[in-house]
Amino acid sequence: MLGRGLGIPLTRSRDRRYSHQVSAEADPKSLAQLAAKTILERFGLPGIDVALVLGSGWSGAASGLGEPIGECELAEIPGFAKPVVVGHGGALRLLRTGTGRVAALFTGRTHFYEGRGVAPVVHGVRTAAAAGARAIVLTNGCGGLNPAWGPGTPVLISDHINLTAATPLEGATFIDLTDAYAPRLRELARQVDPTLAEGVYVQFRGPQYETPAEVRMARVLGGDLVGMSTTLETIAAREAGLEVLGISLVTNAAAGISPTPLEHAEVIAAGKAAEPRLRGLLSGLLERL
């Protein structure tokens, strides 16, 4: 018997004979390959060109962005779990853009604070890469440190600080993160909307919002935006060779920046009000990507 006498419950889950099975223990990259294959077969596509992950406040802005190809629940695709947060969707939408490119929209994401580990957090990114995407647009809702950025202000992510103490990378995978947020794509975004500000995104683990002292710390560290997503996805995207564009929607002033406490309802309302501007930004981007 395997592991006899060691008290270690060895399994054969990584055995080649079982490699077609979907399990939580499956190698994350094989699982992404399987998810990509499932998506492409289901929608009869040879591949996708670009992916968008829609964060808090963004899903309404992505309606009518192109000619619909199809849609399904993300939970129907191997490796994806149902999102847990109100206002976060959980669908996969495939569409053809005006320039004939295939875009995959993920209307929701798994967050690190859900406690399932890093692999599920970056599964969408890896799936997009495995399906042939060359670029990914990662959007989120976040807190703003700059009082000039009122609720509903989109900000380009210029760089990030990952305070989760986690990474999607394993082993000696030394990925360069200089220009992780592609200057070329930021330039494209500014062609669409020249008034876009840029800032450094600081990912906290969450799910609690920051204390005012933590927000001051983020400021001292060089941060402009505080949130609970994106940096782990960006790291996985760079490992996979994807160009990354990150756009934050400031849905609230970060704790201590504004005198009122933070509420999730405020987040949803800010997204609603910003919809026309965000839709213009995303559709302009999809024409240029």
Q: What does the H/E/C string look like for 232-288?
A: HHHHHHHHCCCEEEEEEEEEEECECCECCCCCHHHHHHHHHHHHHHHHHHHHHHHHH
Nearer to ligand 8IG, 130 or 226 (CB): 226
Q: For ligand 8IG, which residue has the nearest CB?
A: 143
Give catalytic status of residue 41 as yes or no. no
Nearer to ligand 8IG, 22 or 273 (CB): 273
Min dist. Cβ of residue 66 to ligand 8IG (A): 26
Give the span between the Cα atoms of 152 and 277, in whole angstroms.
9
Nearer to ligand 8IG, 96 or 264 (CB): 264
Q: What are the start-end ranges of the H helices in the chain?
A: 28-43, 123-130, 183-192, 212-220, 231-239, 264-288
* List of residues contacting ligand 8IG (CB under 6 A): 56, 141-143, 204, 206, 209-210, 226-228, 251-252, 254, 262, 267
Give the span between the Cα atoms of 283 and 228, in whole angstroms.
25
Could you tell me the sign of the dihedral formed by the alpha carbons of 53, 57, 60, 62, in that order? negative
Min dist. Cβ of residue 209 to ligand 8IG (A): 5
Nearer to ligand 8IG, 72 or 197 (CB): 197
Min dist. Cβ of residue 48 to ligand 8IG (A): 27
Which one of the listed residues 210, 233, 239, 243 is annotated catalytic? Answer: 210
The residue count for the chain = 289
Min dist. Cβ of residue 122 to ligand 8IG (A): 18
3-state secondary structure of 19: coil
Give the span between the Cα atoms of 202 and 210, in whole angstroms.
11
Min dist. Cβ of residue 216 to ligand 8IG (A): 13
The maximal CA–CA distance of the chain, rounded, in angstroms, is 67
Nearer to ligand 8IG, 150 or 206 (CB): 206
Give the span between the Cα atoms of 206 and 41, in whole angstroms.
36
Q: Which residues are known to be catalytic?
A: 210
